Amino acid sequence: MNNYLNSEQWFETIKHKDYLYVIRERLDEIDPRFYTTYTNLYLVIGTHSALLIDTGCGLFPLKPIIKDLIGGKELFVINTHSHFDHIGGNYEFDKILIHKKERRLISKPRDISFLRDSSKEVIKRFESKNYILPPAKIIQPVIDNEIIDLGKISIKVFHTPGHSPGCISLLTNKNELFTGDTAHYGMMYLTKKTFPIILSSISKLIDLYKKSENIELYPSHEEFTVGKELLVDLSKGIKNIDNIWDTKIRDDFLEAWIIEDEIFKYAIF
Ligand SMILES: [Zn+2]
């Protein structure tokens, strides 16, 4: 069994480019019942400011790690959406940006007591907090097409709903596209009635390749720096779910149907 004692042991920090860090958290070490190994947080550093994309589960302090990486630069923090694995460290930071459709969801304490019976030892760190994630202090809503300027690097917000109503993806002027939970390998969490919505969000991301074929994808879970085929295959996969619906298996923890094709797993609510 792994014994995690502090933030340095818990978070894996990877310098991916001069201006881009990946900070990984093991979601399966929090609770394997999500069938997800990694959550990827990203830190993009411009000449005068930096942007932290998501704050993880809140199990270990994240802010000291970020402070070390950005020095005295101004820090913006944005949530790709409001699910617990992306917002847990929000309370550590002064202000959180999030799509306006999910601002209310991060303004209140979040009950994560569904993790209480996880098989993982490290989850006991939440016991002293009674399995409650504190809310964000100040929330600033963002909208589609908004641009965040970090100095030399700018980041454009794209509203890509489907996984949740306020999911966003973020594109830098250097062609990194952070897809949040709208597109990643591994287990995709979807609602059957929002299939048309996520399919149109995925098309919106595929359309970005009309301006540049050099876009690299950085999803919020599992592998990062993946290619356009993620979007193309995921779109095909979601369209095919009805055809393989008979193969679904009930998952009592997730209260969802699990279904699998050659590339993806899906938890369907
Ligand atoms: Zn997630």
pLDDT of residue 3: 78
Q: What is the DSSP string of 136-161?
A: PSEEEEE-TT-EEE-SS-EEEEEE--
How many A from CA of 14 to the centre of ligand 1? 19
Measured distance CA(214)–CA(138) in Å, rounded: 36
Q: 3-class DSSP state for residue 89? A: coil
Q: How confident is the model at residue 25 (pLDDT cuts 50, 70, 90)?
A: very high
Question: What percent of the chain has a predicted confidence (pLDDT) above 90?
Answer: 98
pLDDT of residue 2: 67
Exposed, middle or buried: residue 238 (CB in 10 Å: 0-12, 13-18, 19+)? buried
How many A from CA of 17 to the centre of ligand 1? 23
Q: What is the mean pLDDT of residues 190-197?
A: 96
How many A from CA of 82 to the centre of ligand 1? 9
Q: Which residue has the tokens 């938890």?
A: 267
How many A from CA of 152 to the centre of ligand 1? 29
Distances in Å between the Cα of 193 and the Cα atoms of 131, 162, 163, 188, 252 are: 30, 9, 11, 15, 20
Residue 105 has pLDDT above 70, yes or no: yes
How many A from CA of 233 to the centre of ligand 1? 19
Whether the CA torsion 230, 232, 234, 240 is positive or negative: it is negative
Q: What is the mean pLDDT of residues 164-189?
A: 98
pLDDT of residue 236: 98
pLDDT of residue 85: 98
Distances in Å between the Cα of 255 and the Cα atoms of 144, 198, 260, 268 are: 32, 20, 16, 9
Write the pLDDT tens digit of every residue in 194-220: 999 999 999 999 999 999 999 999 999
pLDDT of residue 68: 97
Residue 227 has pLDDT above 60, yes or no: yes
How many A from CA of 38 to the centre of ligand 1? 9
pLDDT of residue 107: 98
How many A from CA of 211 to the centre of ligand 1? 28
184 and 173 Cβ atoms separated by less than 8 Å: no
How many A from CA of 111 to the centre of ligand 1? 16
How many A from CA of 39 to the centre of ligand 1? 7
Measured in whole angstroms, the distance separating CA 224 from the mean position of its chain's CA atoms is 12
Tokens of 201: 């969000």
Q: What is the mean pLDDT of residues 77-99?
A: 98
Q: How confident is the model at residue 259 (pLDDT cuts 50, 70, 90)?
A: very high
How many A from CA of 170 to the centre of ligand 1? 15
Write the pLDDT tens digit of every residue in 122-149: 999 999 999 999 999 999 999 999 999 9
DSSP state for residue 16 in the 8-state scheme? E
Write the pLDDT tens digit of every residue in 27-68: 999 999 999 999 999 999 999 999 999 999 999 999 999 999
Tokens of 77: 């923090």
How many A from CA of 185 to the centre of ligand 1? 12
Residue 1 has pLDDT above 80, yes or no: no
Measured distance CA(127)–CA(110) in Å, rounded: 14
How many A from CA of 188 to the centre of ligand 1? 9
How many A from CA of 177 to the centre of ligand 1? 16
182 and 194 Cβ atoms separated by less than 8 Å: no
Widest CA span in the chain = 55
Tokens of 62: 């994240």
Q: What is the mean pLDDT of residues 154-171?
A: 98
Question: How many CB atoms are located within 10 Å of the residue 196 CB?
Answer: 10
Q: Which residue has the tokens 């694995």?
A: 85
pLDDT of residue 241: 98
How many A from CA of 181 to the centre of ligand 1? 6
How many A from CA of 220 to the centre of ligand 1? 7
How many A from CA of 238 to the centre of ligand 1? 18
